[in-house]
Amino acid sequence: MYLVRNFSIGAALACASVAVVLPSAALAEVVVASSGPSAGQFPVGKKLGSSEQITLKSGDTVTVLGSAGTRVISGAGSHRVGARGAAKRSTFATLTRQRDAARVRTGAVRGDLTGAPVTRSNIWYVDVTQSGTMCIADGAAVQLWRPLAEGAPTYMVGNAAQNHMHLAFAEGSTSTDWNLAQMPVEDGASYTIAGPGIEPATNVTFAVLDTQPDNPEDLAAALIAKGCTGQLELLSSALM
C-alpha cells in the first residue's frame, strides 16, 4: 500500500498543495476528518499518498488514517502526510477480529475512574446505545454490545415488518449473540433496539461489506463509503 519511491513522482507530489487521486495500489492514507480554511480541499474519504506533502493554512486541521495509525496534521506550512513509526497491526487485528458464537465472553470494566466512556473492543459489535448505519463483514456472526456489564438485561429488537425478538445479556458479559435464525440480518434493513438505559429506542441500519479490508486505510474508506460514521470514529480513536 505504499508509494513506489520514484524521484520524478516524488518531486511532483512534493510541489503539490492539493493531493492527487492515486491508483489504489499506491494509496496509504485516508482523510477521516478536516476543518479550517482548507477543509474543502481535504474532504472525508480523500485518499493521499504517505510520502506526499500537503500545504495547510493557519487554523487548518486534517486527520488521516493509515497503516501507522491515526495522525492529526495542523498548522500553517507544508506537512508530510504519512506518520513515521511502526504500523499498528496488532491493534488493528484485535479491533477487527471476527468472533465466533462459542467464544469466551469477557465483561467490561465496571466504571472508569477517569470518567472516560467505555468503548467497544471490536469494531463489528453492534452498540445497543448507538443509532446509525452499522457495517458488518460477516452476516453470520452478529453480536450486540453494551457499555457496562452489570445485571442481566433483556433488549427487544424489531424490524419494519413488525417482527421482534428478545436478546438477553448474561451477568458480567458485555456482548450477546444476535439470533439470526429468528431474525436474519439483511443489507440495507433497519432495526430498532429497545431496553434498559435506551430512551428513545436505538435505530440501526445494516450495511454488509462484500469483503473485510485487511488494512486500516481500506477499512476506513469502506466505512466512509457506507456511512458507518460511528465505526469510523472508533477505528480512528483506537489507532491514535
Residues 103 and 197 occupy one common structural domain:
yes
Last residue of a domain, one of 66, 87, 108: 87
Residues 103 and 83 occupy one common structural domain:
no
Residues 103 and 206 occupy one common structural domain:
yes
Q: What whole-number distance in Å separates Cα of residue 7 and Cα of residue 26? A: 15
> Does a structural domain hold residue 124?
yes
Q: What's the pLDDT tens digit per position in 161-195? A: 889 999 999 999 999 999 999 999 999 999 999 99
Q: What pLDDT, on the 0 to 100 scale, is given for residue 117?
A: 64
> Does a structural domain hold residue 161?
yes
Residues 157 and 69 occupy one common structural domain:
no
> Does a structural domain hold residue 151?
yes
| Spatial contact of 40 and 57, defined as CB atoms under 8 Å apart | no
Q: How many domains does the chain have?
A: 2
Instruction: Quote the percentage of the chain above a pLDDT of 70.
Output: 79
Residues 67 and 28 occupy one common structural domain:
yes
Q: What pLDDT, on the 0 to 100 scale, is given for residue 161?
A: 86
Q: What whole-number distance in Å separates Cα of residue 231 and Cα of residue 125? A: 9
Q: What's the pLDDT tens digit per position in 92-145? A: 999 998 764 434 344 433 344 344 567 888 999 999 999 999 999 888 889 999
> Does a structural domain hold residue 159?
yes
Range of the domain at 121: 99-211
